[in-house]
Structure 1
Amino acid sequence: MAVSAIGSLSSKLSLGLLNFVLAVSSGWALKHYSIGRYALAAYGLLFAHSVFCILHCTHPNPGQVQRRICELSLRYSPVIFVTLIVGQLQSFGGPQPNFAGSSSWHPIVFSLYISLLALVSVRSCLNEKSKLATVLARLERLNLALCVLWNVFCLWHIAIGDEFWWSLGLALLVLLNHFVLWRLTLRYNISPLEVGTVGMCFSVIFAINAAQEMIENRR
């Protein structure tokens, strides 16, 4: 029992430290690199997420509601963040009508997230053990994966336009974060919260550099 308590404390400390790093990086980006409404919303989202998770980690007796909010925020915030960053990068593209699929970007994003919100809302009203809730959970994961793949497609489209390597790197990082790195939790003593937070820290770095790369290229 003592070993378990020590392990739990160590996990909370590492998670708190990772969220502190995320808060610093996203706060710095929010202050210095929030060019436009999309970037402001993106970095503000991760900053709010990190602050809430720090409060959760440092709370002497955190409740299940706090933990649930942190888990849900960890699931959706990275995907929404990248979507907003794509919106920021598109704003640097000038008048090109097909820049990263800009002509259809807004309606597709709107459709994906409205359907995701509907699935989450309906499932939250059901018994988690019911068959319908299980089906909705699978549809929710599929919908979220579609959001991720749409982000990757847009970043790839941006990257190949004028060889924006940081955008391509962000696309690869998104794929790793969503489809690969979570497997580390199956083999090592590391929680999904820790893996996801590390991924968000790197996403902030790549997003800043991707925006700066495009700004310098457009001068």
Structure 2
Amino acid sequence: MAVSAIGSLSSKLSLGLLNFVLAVSSGWALKHYSIGRYALAAYGLLFAHSLFCILHCTHPNPGQVQRRICELSLRYSPVIFVTLIVGQLQSFFVGPQPIFAGSSSWHPIVFSLYISLLALVSVRSCLNEKSKLANVLARLERLNLALCVLWNVFCLWHIAIADEFWWSLGLALLVLLNHFVLWRLTLRYNISPLEVGTVGMCFSVIFGINAAQEMIESRR
């Protein structure tokens, strides 16, 4: 029991420290690199996430609701963040965008993906978690989220090859690692999914800032 309590305290301390780093980096980006409404929403989202998680880690007796909100925020915030960064990067292009010929093609696909994801989450939350339908909806939700991730990677790749924007390509690779690979570390090491996800978000902020700066400097 004592060892478990010490391990839990150590995990909360490390998670609190990681979220503090995320709060500082996203807050700094929010102040200095909010160059458009998409970037403002992206960095604001991670800043709010980090503050709520710090509150959860420092609370002497956090409840199940706080834990659940942190877990849900960790699941969706990184994907939404990258989608918003993609929107910001696309806004730098003048004329036809690098993904499709039409400048409005990106928006309906994004709205379709996230509206369907929201519908799945909303319906599943009204069902018994152990029911067969809830399990089916959970699988569809994971599939939909994976499609959102792959769409982000696809967009970043097209932006990267437009004029050799290497930070955008690096962000695409980071997104793939964060969603499909790094979570496996929790199976082999004494580290929680919250810690792995928070580290990934910290690096996403850095890559997002540099990707935007790279495109701005290329157009001067």
Q: TM-score range by the shorter chain?
A: over 0.9
> Cα distance 1:102–1:149, how it changes in 2: closer, same or farther (>3 A)?
farther
Q: What is the aligned-residue identity percentage?
A: 97
How far residue 97 of structure 1 moved from its aligned partner, in angstroms, is: 7.1
The answer on whether the counterparts of 1:100 and 1:157 sit within 8 Å (CA) in structure 2 is: no
Uncovered stretches (5+) of structure 2, i.e. residues with no partner: none
> Cα distance 1:101–1:45, how it changes in 2: closer, same or farther (>3 A)?
farther
Distance 2:121 2:190 in 1: 29
How far residue 185 of structure 1 moved from its aligned partner, in angstroms, is: 0.2
Distance 2:40 2:70 in 1: 21
Q: What whole-Å deviation, never above 9, does each CA across 1:78-117 have from its counterpart, x for those lacking one?
A: 0000000000000045554756974311000000000000
How far residue 24 of structure 1 moved from its aligned partner, in angstroms, is: 0.1
Q: What whole-Å deviation, never above 9, does each CA across 1:32-66 have from its counterpart, x for those lacking one?
A: 00010000000000000000000000000000000
How far residue 128 of structure 1 moved from its aligned partner, in angstroms, is: 0.4
The answer on whether the counterparts of 2:99 and 2:159 sit within 8 Å (CA) in structure 1 is: no
SS at match of 2:111: helix
Distance 2:181 2:101 in 1: 25
Distance 1:94 1:74 in 2: 35
The answer on whether the counterparts of 1:29 and 1:43 sit within 8 Å (CA) in structure 2 is: yes
How many correspondences in the alignment? 219
Distance 1:201 1:101 in 2: 33
Query: Counterpart of 1:34?
Result: 34
The answer on whether the counterparts of 1:90 and 1:99 sit within 8 Å (CA) in structure 2 is: no
SS at match of 1:60: coil
Question: Greater helix percent: which structure?
Answer: 1
Distance 1:204 1:31 in 2: 13
SS at match of 1:113: helix
How far residue 73 of structure 1 moved from its aligned partner, in angstroms, is: 0.1
> Cα distance 1:156–1:9, how it changes in 2: closer, same or farther (>3 A)?
same
Distance 1:49 1:16 in 2: 12
Q: What whole-Å deviation, never above 9, does each CA across 1:106-135 have from its counterpart, x for those lacking one?
A: 000000000000000000000000000000
Distance 2:39 2:89 in 1: 9
Distance 1:191 1:89 in 2: 32
Q: What whole-Å deviation, never above 9, does each CA across 1:129-164 have from its counterpart, x for those lacking one?
A: 000000000000000000000000000000000000
The answer on whether the counterparts of 2:95 and 2:103 sit within 8 Å (CA) in structure 1 is: no
The answer on whether the counterparts of 1:90 and 1:102 sit within 8 Å (CA) in structure 2 is: no
The answer on whether the counterparts of 1:159 and 1:167 sit within 8 Å (CA) in structure 2 is: yes
The answer on whether the counterparts of 1:100 and 1:155 sit within 8 Å (CA) in structure 2 is: no
The answer on whether the counterparts of 1:99 and 1:157 sit within 8 Å (CA) in structure 2 is: no
Distance 1:119 1:148 in 2: 17
Q: Mean alpha-carbon deviation: is it higher for 12-21 or for 97-106?
A: 97-106
> Cα distance 1:189–1:98, how it changes in 2: closer, same or farther (>3 A)?
closer
Distance 1:57 1:41 in 2: 24
SS at match of 1:101: coil
TM-score, L = length of structure 2: 0.97
Uncovered stretches (5+) of structure 1, i.e. residues with no partner: none
TM-score, L = length of structure 1: 0.97
The answer on whether the counterparts of 2:33 and 2:209 sit within 8 Å (CA) in structure 1 is: yes
How far residue 193 of structure 1 moved from its aligned partner, in angstroms, is: 0.1
